[in-house]
Homo-oligomer: A and B are copies of this chain.
Amino acid sequence: MADVLAFTLRRAGFDVLAVYDGGAAAAAWQHAHPHLIILDLNLPHLDGMGLCRIIRSQSDVPIIMLTVRSGDADVVQGLEAGADDYVVKPFSPSQLVARVRAVLRRTDTALLPVELAAGDLRLDRARNEVHRLGLSPVRLTPLETRLLEMLMLHAGQTMTTDALLNAVWAAEGGDRAMLKQLVYRLRSKIEPDPARPTQIETIPGIGYAFVVR
């Protein structure tokens, strides 16, 4: 199983280190400093859930869990243990790759510079503030920051609803209503005229796009 995953991910362009039991995983993690960990719940020697807690207690590295069972309890338990996302077996390779990309995309931003600029907006990610040329800074909530972050990061491109849901809510799973609300709230903070948005454009049927002029 580990080998197949490694194969699939390498084909998708990732650099992969595969190990075959919990102890080895714990050791490898310390040495390799991976950008992301995929953890099977059923591991020999040291179970995935416990390992997840251990890793999480010492690092923020994103973790994706693999599980055979799809029971709600499992999922909840996994997320509580600190997993960033989970995939239920059986799954298709492309699905896993998609999840990996989504998680990396989401956490990648942790490595981003503190200040993000696009158009005449400047986002201070450390302080959750947006600055607009000359005007006084506006304070954002954590969620609003993550949404704006994604939009500015892909300024000029259309972000699909799904991509944004992934980016902002990750494994917790947001729905369209939540995104709708969040966009509304963000707009009311950063748009000169919220009723006629110029910064965050709606692309009907697809998603939203940050407009640079």
Contacts and interface: CB of A to CB of B under 8 A. Distances in A.
Interface of A: 1, 4, 7-8, 11, 56-57, 68, 72, 75-76, 79-85, 89-94, 106-107, 126-128, 139, 141-142, 157-158, 203-206, 209
A83 B95 CA distance: 11
Contact of A8 (B82, B85, B90): B82
B107 A90 contact: no
Contacts of A4: 80-81
Contacts of A8: 82
Nearest to A139: B204
Listed residue (A89, A91, A127, A139) with the most chain B CB atoms within 10 angstroms of its CB: A127
A92 B56 CA distance: 13
A93 B89 contact: no
Listed residue (A84, A89, A204, A205) with the most chain B CB atoms within 10 angstroms of its CB: A205
A158 B83 CA distance: 30
